[in-house]
Amino acid sequence: MFAFITEAIGLTTRSSAQQFTEKIMKGYKITDNERSKKYGIGSNSLQMLKNKAKIKFPIKDVRLYLAADGCEVTDEDYFSTLEPQTLFVVAGPETIITTDGEFQFEQLKQRSPLLRVADIVHDFMEQHPQKFLKMVSDYEKLKKPKLDHSKTNLSLKSEHSEWFLGLEERCHTKEEALSRRAQDRVRGYYYKTKDELTRNIIYRQNLKARRLIDAILEKFRYLLIGCDYFSMIFDRDCNRKHEFLQKQLDDETDARSVVPSKKLKQIIKNYTLKNQILDKWTVSLCSNLGDFYCQGPFSDSTNNCSLNHTINPYASRENLILFQVWNLDHQIELSRTILPALLENVRTLITMPKRLCDLHNGQLVDVSVLEYFLEIFSLKNLKLVHIVCHEKVQRTNKSNGRLLCEQCHEYQIVQALMDVQVDKEAANF
């Protein structure tokens, strides 16, 4: 009897300890959009952090945004993936969020006469665009600016410590830090996609639509794991370069490849590599030295920046900060075009279950997950542009996503990926 009681107490103690561990408090930071005040907050959930934020900042409808990129955090699962000491901006739903990059850029402008001149130049450029372009072109012909690359080739934290100020402690090389920046941007697209799809009325009111959308999101997640959330696009050590760079670069030596991490990721990566699903788009946008080149505004389909914008965030901390205002611009717009088209195809599958595929005359069973994936997350639809070249205008181009039957090659590729994953997990279980 004594042994039984002892064992029961032990189980209860372990259970309590497990619950405590699961709900352990982590430290986060919150500030307002003007960065006038900053507070350290302990929280074990998104809701708790919101509740505490309301006390510090009395806003009627409190929302939390990542200071790094302005992404609104609405999902507890996503919140659980964030590092302790992550900085959030506390603001209302209609607030235009100032990201850390934009805020620091404004601070730099206050301290640097050269950057304050940028406002004057920008006004002149808008009022006299042709004259401005001619002036820039004439200047480029006379003299190309000489960049200081004295520390550009350095990679380790111990070699260029000031470059790493304010970055995560776990980043030990510049390449790792820039890879994480790329992953953060792509993760932001995933959670924006998830948020908009799951807030839609068809998801909330139709069980079949909910299951279908959940399955699409899961396939997106596996594909993202397969390409390591496109970490390579900002990584100068990636030896696969975007074809756009061939116009900008002279011959360079091959860089070393990235070593895969977790076993689960490797399983999916092996499959995506074997089937060459994402080969064309798992490439770097920078040279081996780390130079990035603006791909020009949306209105210029030739990937040509007439202003010759370029930046090397590997060269200095100031350049790393300025790089945050370079944007990955969706040529087919995410919220206005891609996601509405995806939802419309989901609605068609639900309301017209007997509709047949235009290509194979088979019954439609899914949306073209791979095509939507490439439009949302990959360089097939994303252009890296300087903030001046980011044209924020409504566009008329349409998504290429469609409906598929079981005979469609795209459906078979993605389904095989999911089957491989399920089989492997079952074997490990």
- What are residue 156's phi and psi, to 5 degrees? -75, 150
Can you tell me the distance from the alpha carbon of 390 to that of 332, in angstroms, rounded to the nearest whole number? Answer: 13
The amino acid at 233? I
DSSP 342: H
Find where tokens 């992404």 sit: 71
pLDDT beyond 80 at 78: yes
Can you tell me the distance from the alpha carbon of 391 to that of 395, in angstroms, rounded to the nearest whole number? Answer: 10
Question: Are the C-beta atoms of residues 238 and 232 closer than 8 Å to each other?
Answer: yes
pLDDT at position 178 = 96
Question: Are the C-beta atoms of residues 285 and 278 closer than 8 Å to each other?
Answer: no
pLDDT at position 344 = 97
The pLDDT of 408-425, averaged and rounded, is 74
Average pLDDT along the chain: 81
Segment (H or E) for 369: helix 369-377
Can you tell me the distance from the alpha carbon of 60 to that of 83, in angstroms, rounded to the nearest whole number? Answer: 27
Tens digit of each residue's pLDDT (9 = 90 or more) over 2-37: 454 445 445 444 444 444 445 688 999 999 999 999
Residue 311 burial (10 A CB sphere; 0-12, 13-18, 19+):
buried
pLDDT band at 139 (very low <50, low <70, confident <90, very high): low
For residue 232, the SS3 value is helix
- Here the tokens at position 311 are 């930046």
Angle between helices 174-199 and 339-351 (to 10 degrees): 40
pLDDT band at 368 (very low <50, low <70, confident <90, very high): very high
Which of 49-58, 95-104, 260-269, 404-413 is least confident?
260-269
Find where tokens 């998801």 sit: 203
Q: CA of 135: how far to CAs of 142, 177, 391, in Å?
A: 11, 37, 22
Can you tell me the distance from the alpha carbon of 340 to that of 336, in angstroms, rounded to the nearest whole number? Answer: 7
Can you tell me the distance from the alpha carbon of 267 to that of 271, in angstroms, rounded to the nearest whole number? Answer: 7
pLDDT beyond 90 at 248: no
Q: How many Cα atoms occupy the beta-carbon half-sphere of 127 within 13 Å?
A: 6
pLDDT at position 116 = 56
Question: Are the C-beta atoms of residues 341 and 399 closer than 8 Å to each other?
Answer: yes
pLDDT at position 14 = 47
Q: What percent of the chain has pLDDT over 70?
A: 77
Question: Are the C-beta atoms of residues 202 and 347 closer than 8 Å to each other?
Answer: yes
Can you tell me the distance from the alpha carbon of 413 to that of 419, in angstroms, rounded to the nearest whole number? Answer: 10
CA-CA-CA-CA torsion for 100, 316, 319, 134, nearest 10 degrees? 160
- pTM higher than 0.75, yes or no? no
Can you tell me the distance from the alpha carbon of 112 to that of 37, in angstroms, rounded to the nearest whole number? Answer: 24
The pLDDT of 73-97, averaged and rounded, is 89
The amino acid at 334? L
pLDDT beyond 70 at 82: yes
pLDDT at position 396 = 87
